[in-house]
A and B are shown apart, each in its own frame.
Chain A
Amino acid sequence: MEETKPYPPKFFLRFFRGYCHPRLADDIEGDLIEVYRKRALKNGKRKADIRFAIDVLLLIRPNIIKPVNGYQNINTYGMYKSYFTIAWRTFLRSKGYSLINISGLAIGLSACLLIALYVHHELSYDRFNEKANRIYRVDSELKFGDNHMNLALTNPLFGETAKADFPQIEQTTRLQWYGSFLVKKGDVNVREGNVARADSTLFDVFSLPMIHGNPKTALTEPNSIVITESVAKKYFDNTDVVGQTLTINNTENRKITGVIRDIPSNSHFRFTSFVPMIENEYANEVIWAGSQNWATYLLLKPGADAEGLDPELNKMFDRHLGPEMKSVINKTLDEFKSQGDYFKVSLTKLTDIHLRSNKIGELYGGGNLQYIYIFSVIALFILIIAVINFMNLATARSAGRAREVGVRKVMGSLRGSLIQQFLTESFLTCLIAMLLSIAITFSILPLFNELTGKIFDVSILLSTPVMILLVSLTIGVGLLAGSYPAFYLSAFQPVSVLKGSKTGNVKKSFFRNTLVVFQFSASVLLISGTLIVFMQMQYIREKDLGYNREQMLILNNIDQLGQRIEPIKNSLSQISGVENLTVTGFLPVNYNRNNNTYFPTPSLDIKGTISMQQWTIDENYIATIGMKLIEGRNYIKGKTDSTSIILNESAAKFLGGEDILEKKLYRLIDEETHTITEYRIVGIVKDFNFSSLREPVKPLAFLYGSDNGGITLKINTADIPSLLSTIETQWKSLAPDLPFEYSFMDTDFDNAYKGERQTGKLVTIFATLSIFISCLGLFGLATYVAEQRTKEVGIRKVLGASVTGITTLLSKDFVKLVLLAIAVATPLAYYFIHQWLQGFAYRIELSWWVFILSGAIALTIALLTVSFQAIKAAMMNPVKSLRSE
């Protein structure tokens, strides 16, 4: 009979059975079939089929479909649900502990996340270049006599020659600082820094995508310029500006031949404009020994062996160096080498430049690998401290949970499911902490950016790698923090637990104490580290640098003044408040630098040669900058002092020290004509610091002459703003076309140590965080111990114990632990801090009191934390604590 009646499509019927709630399925199916048959009779089978399908689809409703879990017991959904319920109830029951756990973990995770962002950014330098693993920079190393130099630079022809000689070199390109120039925008001139000279092959080697213009020809013609997007927008409000001109330094016109995307912040050079290298007449000079001024990059062919290329390049270098050396210093290369001197080249991987290379002539200051390690260790410490909190609190509370475990086991719970339950609790804690940490990181990211000088966008928090990191951290921390309590608690024997013999849980406190000791050791380590970093920074700031940097005003754009320099100089020196002024671009804070080699004999013997800075100054320099002349005399105006030389102490020491005045030094002016100039030493100035305080003061020589790189004013006024406006008025009247730009020497100095200061601040912040998290844990433990001993305290009070006595009793154990931690941490801290300080030529003495102080700080903080709880317990009315039972 049934076959004669039409039957609805099997697929949809089965689909319906699949999702429908089993209680309703039979009856609704009946309805469906009944309606279907009626329709089939009336409208035909096809239409009824379609309507049936629609009906089935429309039946997918919350009330009708199967519940996701809990209906059938063939799976363990119900159990998981129960784990979550229990975990949630545990949270709510002990809000204090959960809060400590979650906030500790959340702060720890956020700190980790921030540090990970920072470290990742530092490690990502130059990796945006598609050919990054094939790009190498040619560095040179020179040792002659007692001079030793590591240069990030090489001579002008090295790259081209190497490319012609070795087939495995695909391309080569050079970069060189141009400095800054003025760009006309409307009526005013704007200073544009970060300008480089570059070979036309720049875009073959580096991935600097060009939006407009042809990368092949952009840097081939003189007077062309390639600018970045943001520069284009600054002057034209538009990026499609190829063919337009920029007026440079008021006089020259440069045609824009290309607009590139802004160079990423994680590039070892961050130039904003490029001009063609061919404009530099020295760029194609055949000179191998004398002029190391070019950052040269080689792009190797895929699969080429860089290590194998290294000796080949040196052979090539020697071939060209030999004849030149013979003609200049009249010595063969072999003779040069036989004295233990050398001049060699080496390749540095592009991706190693930022963190691992810190040579003379780096285009931009690099990062510091040491800090990467320091920060990674701090991140790890913070995370471990937070995890330890979790473990400690969980085990400490095990006495209370032990009964629960006992009852559960009696009711038939398996160990496995108990483990799962505890793990669920820790995972849930971690999950909440993770969500919280995303929120925290989100809100403090702008602050972090300001602190590190990096630009992390908020969107980075939602990027895949960060998400993967967060999820894996959560799982890792959840497992790590949850496993100990899970395995420890679930192993309890129900009989002994329920009898109450396990509630003391004295044995396991050893483990807990070890963890507390570890936590505080980490904290003490970080505290003493922070103290030392702070003191070292303070020392650098306040160190006598051998010159005066207070109230020193430096004016820019002097090189553009031309003939107007004299009138400006004269009018500025008339202003009251200006004590003294000097015209030169050579200053102790980062301005012009010029290295030269001086020989002790006219025959240019290498023995006793000195390589030193050569600064051109005027007669006012020493007085204006506040240097001390310790021997001899200053330059005298009007007297022919052009071959008089003033040395610094280091140079004098290098040259033998005693009776150095009136001695002669020789310098090679022109290699081709072999012109040599003789200099007479007339004075010695006290050493002053002109490069990083990480290095000792190097030899330096002053020459008398004019250099229009800048004007430095020694001012003496209480009202700097009004003095500035007076100077500006003078400037505007004499040089209305040039912007009035100035800086103060002390700010420039501070900027030079910005990196160090930023690091110092970061270390301080993270150290404070780690101590805070440790204290959170300690607070939790103290609370727990106080609770545990409520009765004991009550009885003691009844028997006449004093509040002080009880406080001491409760704090004693923790103090012992912290003291132990100090003992463990101090030698470690000494070792690491000693290592760090070795990096500075000028450093503070490591004194014992720093360690005592950091120990005392840790102890005080711990005591404050613990005693809060201890005093609370001691003050409690014994009637209350003893009333129950």
Chain B
Amino acid sequence: MKKYQLGEFEEIVLLTIAILYKDAYGVAIKEEIEARLARDVSMGALHAAFVRLENKGYIKSRLGEGTEDRAGRPRRYFQMTALGKKALEYSRQTREELWKAIPKISLDLKIIVS
């Protein structure tokens, strides 16, 4: 099976883009992540992730209309590609396999120790 390179933060961004679907642009994605995960997202990290995801072919983008809120600057909307979807699925699947592979005892053990 082909490998999909997907970092942790990239995965979150990709998922959020999928959630927001048609409304996925910079600020909206930022706010969505901040709201859902209760973590601060810097503009730099976010946009760097966009560029990386786009270079990997997991998302594509188009420029939208400019609004007054943004002093006339256009919004860039992102959309997940089929490859991006595969990457997400692959990531999820490998996680589940790993979870399944954990022997019961090691989970139990943790309880005893704590």
Bound Cα distance A213, B101 (Å): 78
What is the minimal beta-carbon distance from B92 to any residue of chain A, in angstroms? 26
Is A28 engaged at the interface, CB distance under 8 Å to the other chain?
yes
What is the minimal beta-carbon distance from B34 to any residue of chain A, in angstroms? 11
A64 touching B26, Cβ below 8 Å = no
Q: A55 contacts which chain B residues (CB < 8 A)?
A: 42-44
B27 touching A59, Cβ below 8 Å = no
Contact stretch, chosen from B15-23, B47-55, B80-88, B103-111: B47-55
What is the minimal beta-carbon distance from B110 to any residue of chain A, in angstroms? 37
Most buried by B among A5, A35, A60: A35
One of B30, B47, B55 near A64 (C-beta < 8 A):
B47
What is the minimal beta-carbon distance from A829 to any residue of chain B, in angstroms? 67
A1 touching B68, Cβ below 8 Å = yes
Q: A60 contacts which chain B residues (CB < 8 A)?
A: 44
B44 touching A58, Cβ below 8 Å = yes
Is B37 engaged at the interface, CB distance under 8 Å to the other chain?
no
One of A27, A31, A37, A64 near B48 (C-beta < 8 A):
A64
Which partner residue on chain B sits nearest A8 by CB separation? B71
Is B66 engaged at the interface, CB distance under 8 Å to the other chain?
yes
Is A880 engaged at the interface, CB distance under 8 Å to the other chain?
no
Bound Cα distance A64, B47 (Å): 7
Cβ < 8 Å to B, chain A residues 59-81: 59-64
Which partner residue on chain B sits nearest A54 by CB separation? B42
B71 touching A59, Cβ below 8 Å = no
One of B25, B43, B55, B69 near A59 (C-beta < 8 A):
B43
What is the minimal beta-carbon distance from A122 to any residue of chain B, in angstroms? 58
Bound Cα distance A59, B75 (Å): 18
With A64-B48, A64-B51 known as contacts, the answer to whether A31 contacts B71 (CB < 8 A) is no
A31 touching B26, Cβ below 8 Å = yes
A58 touching B42, Cβ below 8 Å = yes
B43 touching A35, Cβ below 8 Å = yes
One of A5, A27, A58 near B73 (C-beta < 8 A):
A27
B44 touching A27, Cβ below 8 Å = no
Q: B27 contacts which chain A residues (CB < 8 A)?
A: 31, 34-35
A24 touching B51, Cβ below 8 Å = yes
What is the minimal beta-carbon distance from A28 to any residue of chain B, in angstroms? 5
B43 touching A7, Cβ below 8 Å = no
Bound Cα distance A33, B71 (Å): 7
Most buried by B among A26, A29, A34: A34
Bound Cα distance A24, B78 (Å): 13
B69 touching A34, Cβ below 8 Å = yes
Q: B68 contacts which chain A residues (CB < 8 A)?
A: 1-2, 5
Is A32 engaged at the interface, CB distance under 8 Å to the other chain?
yes
One of B45, B69, B75 near A27 (C-beta < 8 A):
B75
Q: B74 contacts which chain A residues (CB < 8 A)?
A: 26-27, 30
Bound Cα distance A63, B27 (Å): 19
Q: B47 contacts which chain A residues (CB < 8 A)?
A: 24, 28, 31, 59, 61, 63-64
Chain B residues touching A, majority SS:
helix
Q: B70 contacts which chain A residues (CB < 8 A)?
A: 30-31, 33-34
Q: A27 contacts which chain B residues (CB < 8 A)?
A: 26, 63, 73-76
B69 touching A32, Cβ below 8 Å = no
Cβ < 8 Å to B, chain A residues 26-48: 26-35, 37
Bound Cα distance A37, B66 (Å): 15
Which partner residue on chain B sits nearest A27 by CB separation? B76
With A30-B66, A31-B26, A31-B27 known as contacts, the answer to whether A64 contacts B44 (CB < 8 A) is yes
Q: Number of A residues contacting the other chain (C-beta, 8 Å)? A: 25
What is the minimal beta-carbon distance from B32 to any residue of chain A, in angstroms? 13
Q: B55 contacts which chain A residues (CB < 8 A)?
A: 63
What is the minimal beta-carbon distance from A19 to any residue of chain B, in angstroms? 12
One of B26, B45, B66 near A28 (C-beta < 8 A):
B26
Q: B71 contacts which chain A residues (CB < 8 A)?
A: 2, 5, 7, 30, 33
Which partner residue on chain B sits nearest A7 by CB separation? B71
B45 touching A33, Cβ below 8 Å = no
What is the minimal beta-carbon distance from A103 to any residue of chain B, in angstroms? 41
What is the minimal beta-carbon distance from B104 to any residue of chain A, in angstroms? 43
B73 touching A61, Cβ below 8 Å = no
Q: B25 contacts which chain A residues (CB < 8 A)?
A: 31
What is the minimal beta-carbon distance from B48 to any residue of chain A, in angstroms? 5
Which partner residue on chain B sits nearest A60 by CB separation? B44
Bound Cα distance A28, B71 (Å): 12
Bound Cα distance A61, B49 (Å): 10
What is the minimal beta-carbon distance from B91 to any residue of chain A, in angstroms? 21
Which partner residue on chain B sits nearest A1 by CB separation? B68
What is the minimal beta-carbon distance from A35 to any residue of chain B, in angstroms? 6
- Give 1 or 0 for each of B57-75: 1 = CB within 8 Å of chain A CB: 0000001001011110111
A63 touching B52, Cβ below 8 Å = yes
Bound Cα distance A33, B43 (Å): 11
One of A5, A32, A62 near B43 (C-beta < 8 A):
A32
Which partner residue on chain A sits nearest B66 by CB separation? A30
Q: A29 contacts which chain B residues (CB < 8 A)?
A: 73
- Give 1 or 0 for each of A147-180: 1 = CB within 8 Å of chain B CB: 0000000000000000000000000000000000
Bound Cα distance A30, B27 (Å): 9
Bound Cα distance A38, B5 (Å): 34
With A7-B71, A55-B42 known as contacts, the answer to whether A35 contacts B30 (CB < 8 A) is yes
B26 touching A30, Cβ below 8 Å = yes
Bound Cα distance A63, B47 (Å): 8
Q: A35 contacts which chain B residues (CB < 8 A)?
A: 27, 30, 43
Which partner residue on chain B sits nearest A31 by CB separation? B26
Q: B63 contacts which chain A residues (CB < 8 A)?
A: 26-27
Which partner residue on chain A sits nearest B26 by CB separation? A31
With A24-B51, A27-B26, A34-B27 known as contacts, the answer to whether A58 contacts B69 (CB < 8 A) is no
Which partner residue on chain A sits nearest B64 by CB separation? A27
Most buried by A among B43, B45, B52, B69: B43
With A24-B51, A27-B75, A30-B74 known as contacts, the answer to whether A61 contacts B44 (CB < 8 A) is yes
Which partner residue on chain B sits nearest A38 by CB separation? B27
What is the minimal beta-carbon distance from A843 to any residue of chain B, in angstroms? 77
Which partner residue on chain B sits nearest A28 by CB separation? B47
Q: B45 contacts which chain A residues (CB < 8 A)?
A: 58
Cβ < 8 Å to B, chain A residues 166-208: none
Q: A54 contacts which chain B residues (CB < 8 A)?
A: 42
What is the minimal beta-carbon distance from B89 to any residue of chain A, in angstroms? 25
Bound Cα distance A324, B44 (Å): 95
B51 touching A26, Cβ below 8 Å = no
B42 touching A33, Cβ below 8 Å = no
Q: B51 contacts which chain A residues (CB < 8 A)?
A: 24, 63-64
- Give 1 or 0 for each of A315-331: 1 = CB within 8 Å of chain B CB: 00000000000000000
Q: A2 contacts which chain B residues (CB < 8 A)?
A: 68, 71
What is the minimal beta-carbon distance from A43 to any residue of chain B, in angstroms? 14
Bound Cα distance A2, B27 (Å): 20
B48 touching A61, Cβ below 8 Å = yes
Which partner residue on chain A sits nearest B42 by CB separation? A58
Which partner residue on chain B sits nearest A63 by CB separation? B51
Q: Given A24-B51, A54-B42, A59-B43, list of 14 further CB < 8 A pairs? A: A26-B73, A26-B74, A27-B73, A27-B76, A28-B47, A30-B73, A30-B75, A31-B25, A31-B27, A31-B43, A31-B47, A33-B69, A58-B43, A59-B44
In the A-B complex, the 9 residue pairs with the closest CB atoms: A30-B73, A58-B44, A31-B26, A30-B70, A27-B76, A63-B51, A59-B44, A55-B43, A61-B48
Q: List 8 A-B contacts (CB under 8 A).
A: A5-B71, A28-B43, A31-B25, A31-B26, A35-B43, A37-B69, A55-B43, A59-B43
